[in-house]
Structure 1
Amino acid sequence: MDVTPSVTVFDQAYRDGDPPWVIGEPQPAVVALADAGMITGRTLDLGCGAGEHTILLARRGLDVLGADASASAVERAGARAAAAGVDARFTVADALDPAGLGTFDTVLDSALFHVFDAGDQRRYARGLARVVRSGGVVHLLALARTGDGPEFGPVIDESEIRTAFDAPDWTVEAVDRTTYRGVVTAAVSASYGRPAGSRVDEPAHLARIRRT
């Protein structure tokens, strides 16, 4: 990403309806993390969007807070939680300055890091170091650059994750390959050769980053 998009871009996307990254359910990669017991303790779902992952984790009994810079996203997330009968907490917050949110054992980042430019990626890692307890973990799911075929959204290389978290505060324990599910829009349907509204599973990174 050359320049980090403004919050107004995301606010507008949520006001216009369901953005293509809102699939009405949690990402399969995040469900797998939860099923494996990898999300524990006090948890921050940073860049929570429409709240699917916060709702998932709250339903499973975790102490979880969903946070997003977009007030429209947070409003939608709260409404979805209420409709699902789940007591989930959400707040509006700047992911680049999260210190006021408290401290956490686990941070979940589903498709947030990859929207930042290089400078903001490093700023993001520094900010997280102030809210993740020693020994805590960041799980980071981001679209991967493949070099061929259509791109669903902002894509990054593994090296961008490692560079941003190359600091004494962090140890990048693993960067695995997985997929990220999204909805094909009319604007890209020709590139995918699939009708708008179809779901696609795109190549993605899933990083596990430990707070030292």
Structure 2
Amino acid sequence: MTQTAEFWNSVYDDDTAPWVIGEPQPAIVALEQEGRITGRVLDPGTGAGEHTILLTRLGYDVLGVDLSPSAVAYAQRNAAGKGVPAARFRVFDAVRAGREPEVAAELGVFDTIVDSALFHIFGDDPATRADYVRALHALCTPGGFVHVLALSTVEPGFGPRISDTLIRESFGAGWELEELRPDRYHGRVTELTAEEVAKHGLTTTADGAVDTAAWLARIRRL
């Protein structure tokens, strides 16, 4: 499901992104509460910026990046509207950073990388997925951690879904997979997901929210 910046721009410009739920993912909130987020933090595929906003408010040194200029603009407006104007965002191509070391070097390195629903979009594109994982390795300090929250194939639902095997196989040499467990992901029903939600008979709340199976992985950079 790898898409161009123009596609991602369109979902933010039209407000049809099913992952824009107006708050951070509960799984990421729990990570912070468990003390799993430390040091300098990167939020790749920041989207609406909810996790960068959350962590900035809590005092972390965090940067949210996204391929889409419209996503970055959305995140900046979101941060201002939530009273966190200090939240930092920039346009950045993480896949390109895996192919061109000098691009990754522009950001420096991070102690913690929090990937919420980015990794799984490369599920059917092995070459691009490898580039992205290579970028994560370049951007993560040795001994640092990458946390991946990704939609899971254990049950039907909307969006690009991946298996635990794909996560294990993607993070091989240069990484140690410390934990991989089932979790949940919250989304919303928009025109991009309405057909899949109806097809699979997913339960939604009154405000159009839907809860679906996910993986949560903790991976240490060697």
TM-score for both structures, normalised by structure 2: 0.88
Note the C-alpha offset of 1:120.
1.4
Aligned to 1:170: 175
The equivalent residue for 1:40 is 38
Which residue of the partner structure matches residue 69 of structure 1? 67
Report the CA distance between 1:187 and its aligned residue: 3.2
Q: CA deviation at 1:199?
A: 1.2
Q: Distance in 1 between matches of 2:70 and 2:79?
A: 14
Distance 1:129 1:74, change over 3 A: same
Change (3 A) 1:29 1:193: closer
**Which runs of no fewer than 5 residues in structure 1 stay unpaired?**
none
Aligned residue in 2 for 1:91: 90
Check 1:139–1:194 CA distance in 2 against 1; reply closer, same or farther (3 A cut): closer
Gaps of 5+ in 2: 98-102
Q: Secondary structure at the match of 1:126?
A: helix
Matched, 1:180 2:188: no
- What does 1:136-155 correspond to in 2, within 5 Å? 136-146=144-154, 148-149=155-156, 151-155=157-161
**Structure 1 residues 41-90: Cα deviation after superposition (integer angstroms, max 9, x where no partner):** 00000000000000000000000000000000000000111111211000
Aligned residue for 2:35, secondary structure, equals coil
C-alpha distance in 1, partners of 2:16/2:57? 22
- What is the total number of aligned residue pairs between the two structures? 207
Map 1:1-212 onto structure 2 (within 5 A). 1=1, 4-86=2-84, 87-96=86-95, 97=97, 99=104, 100-116=106-122, 117-146=125-154, 148-149=155-156, 151-167=157-173, 169-185=174-190, 186-191=194-199, 192=201, 197-212=207-222
User: Normalised by the size of structure 1, how large is the TM-score?
Assistant: 0.92
Distance 2:212 2:152 in 1: 8
Distance 1:194 1:122 in 2: 34
Deviation at 1:188, TM superposition (A): 3.5
Identity percentage over the alignment? Answer: 51
2:73 and 2:16 mapped to 1: Cα distance?
13
Structure number with higher helix proportion: 2
- d(CA) in 2 for partners of 1:193, 1:113: 23
Give the aligned residue type for 1:181.
H
Change in 2 beyond 3 A, CA 1:190/1:122? same
CA offsets 1:99-133 (integer angstroms, 9 cap, x no match): 12111000000000000122211111111111111
Deviations 1:7-65 (A, max 9, x none): 22111100101411110000000000011111110000000000000000000000000
